[in-house]
Amino acid sequence: MLRFLQGVLVGVFAVLAFGPGASPAKAQGTDTILILDASGSMWGLVGNQTKISAARKAVDTILTQWKPSDHLGLMAYGHRTKGDCKDIELLVPVEPLDAAKIKNAVGALNPKGKTPIADSLRAAAKALRSSERKATVILVSDGIETCAPDPCAVAAELKKAGVGFAAHVIGFDVADPVAKAQLQCIARATGGVYLDARDAAGLESALGRAVEATRGAKVASEAPAKTAEDPLKDKNLRAIARLAAGLDPIADEGLIWTLYKAKPDGSEGEYVQTEYAPRLAIPAAPGKYLLVVAYGATSRSVPVTVEKGKIANLDIALDAGFVVSEGKIGGSNAKAENVTWELQPARGGDVITVYDPVPRFIVPAGDYTLKISKGSASATKSFTVTAGDTMNVALTLDAGRIIVTALYAGGGPAVKDELAAEIRHPAAIDGERGEWVTTSYGPENVFDLAVGSYDVIASVGKAMVAQRVEVESGETKRIAIVLNAGVAGFKAPGSSAIEIVGEERDINDQRTSFATGFDPGFNIALPAGRYVAVVDFDGTKIEKPFVVTAGKRTNVEAAK
């Protein structure tokens, strides 16, 4: 079921403490099976994380709350093969809690397959049947059963058989009304409660409430007390979409259905309406139409004829794949944030750009290259999407961060907004400037860079200092470059120009010129040293020697 059935089935038994006449064979505590949906839809997103990541965090939360007297096992489905309704496995048997074993098993799951809810209920019941303690199950699902059996009927069958089976069901981000009705039915048929969870935080909260229910607490069910009305009633044009034929129906709200009247040649005619839903179900007048379904970067146009008194059902295969990427920063293994993702089709066409921490792409089958970048650092990976793929194209970005500030002298003061920080690759030949990378301006300059050696050049006014820095993956380095400079302030009312030259003369009796200002009053940063201000009063030049001290201000005044 391509709607990330986040199946977390947690079997918990409400067992009364021993009392007079109680059987000594029945121990206190509960038995639990956590059945985790690892179908391909678990690579879908809730907020800025994948559903499988949200499920892992939710599992971690309930593990920390587990009672020592309660036993826990782990079951998963859809984690080994694509399109296999028998892909159900008991990964950890029901036993005293081993949190590390369960966390490791959940962390190793790679979602890819289908969603066999009914057979998972049967498998859980079978695994729990050998225990002397009664079982209650918690089912967390984000969609509908996609294999043959009806899970609602199976749940009722197990309840009738006296398996001691009560299912508390959590609908995780369930948008499809048919899927929600099915999940509510499972809870109702077994005497359990139904809870909605719209996001990752809601999932953790609902799991906690469901666990309380299994321990005997009264938890209000959000399921209707009686059988709900058919959500498809009076809607004669119905459609579902799949990534590929035979796979789970797509069950998130990213699907866009647009209906047009068909022209006599079958092409797109007058616009009728647009629906945003995982399942199309609308009333339509008899006639010929063209239905366009769009999902991410892929779409299909399908002709459909609606006849009076009949239901038109469409099952559309998009021949597309579902791609996410969980980017990491090398070294620290931290989650990649504030990054840019670019997906480039090998066949040409528009590049898809995403700025989310975890990107989601729905694309037609084909060859692609995915690029992650942060600052000047980037990493790429090429891959192939086949129809029906749901994949995580993980990328590791070997990047580090340097934060550059500058001081006029070793003890300060700090250089403020006028600081320029430039990053260059080391020069291949001594005396030359290396290849430019980037420049930033301000009192504190932050650079995200690929791993390697760089020259950091800090400058203000005529003071400039370069420092070699090694950028290491996952690390942040703060660099305070000492400029050994001061500030000279000039006031020469009536002057036309002020040239700043070095005090010493070279062998040709020339002095080095550092700067010329045409304002009778200005400030400039200079390396510490001895200088001369040559002030021009309309052809009359006056020389004023001065000394610049690191970290200090020197005032130079001249008058005609």
Per-residue pLDDT tens digits for 342-392: 999 998 889 999 998 889 899 999 999 999 999 999 999 999 999 988 888
Residue 521 belongs to a domain with what CATH number?
2.60.40.10
Structure-block tokens of residue 474:
């996952």
Judge whether 224 lies within some domain: no
From 28, 148, 36, select the one nearest 84 (Cα to Cα).
148
Residue 200 belongs to a domain with what CATH number?
3.40.50.410
Range of the domain at 524: 485-557
Are 130 and 21 part of one and the same domain? yes
Judge whether 3 lies within some domain: no
Residue 11 has pLDDT above 60, yes or no: no
DSSP for residue 2: B
Are 281 and 188 part of one and the same domain? no
Final residue belonging to a domain, choices 345, 364, 395: 395
Are 140 and 12 part of one and the same domain? yes
Q: Please return the burial class of 214, using the count of CB atoms within 10 Å of its CB with bins 0-12, 13-18 and 19+.
A: buried
Judge whether 219 lies within some domain: no
Are 177 and 277 part of one and the same domain? no
Final residue belonging to a domain, choices 464, 482, 500: 482
Whether the Cβ atoms of residue 302 and residue 319 lie closer than 8 Å to each other:
no
From 14, 214, 10, select the one nearest 127 (Cα to Cα).
10
**455 band by pLDDT with thresholds 50, 70 and 90:** very high
Measured CA to CA in angstroms, residue 365 lies from 345, 418, 433 at distances of: 10, 52, 46
Are 167 and 258 part of one and the same domain? no
Please give the full DSSP string across 53-90, using - where no structure is assigned. HHHHHHHHHHHHT--TT-EEEEEEESSSSTT-TT-EEE
| pLDDT recorded at residue 348 | 86
Per-residue pLDDT tens digits for 465-489: 999 999 999 999 999 999 999 999 9
Residue 272 belongs to a domain with what CATH number?
2.60.40.1120
From 408, 439, 404, select the one nearest 423 (Cα to Cα).
439
Judge whether 227 lies within some domain: no
Are 411 and 465 part of one and the same domain? yes
Are 298 and 434 part of one and the same domain? no
Are 337 and 310 part of one and the same domain? no
Per-residue pLDDT tens digits for 45-96: 888 788 888 888 988 888 888 888 888 889 898 888 887 889 999 999 989 9
Claim: this prediction has a pTM higher than 0.85: no
Are 195 and 243 part of one and the same domain? no
Question: How many domains does the chain fold into?
Answer: 5
Cα 6 from Cα 171, distance rounded (Å): 8
Average pLDDT, the chain: 87
Per-residue pLDDT tens digits for 238-272: 999 999 988 888 887 789 999 999 999 999 999 99
Judge whether 2 lies within some domain: no
Judge whether 231 lies within some domain: no
Residues in Cβ contact with 357 at an 8 Å cutoff, skipping those fewer than 6 apart: 48, 49, 327, 335, 336, 337, 339
Per-residue pLDDT tens digits for 508-517: 999 999 999 9
Are 161 and 100 part of one and the same domain? yes
Final residue belonging to a domain, choices 379, 395, 411: 395
Judge whether 203 lies within some domain: yes
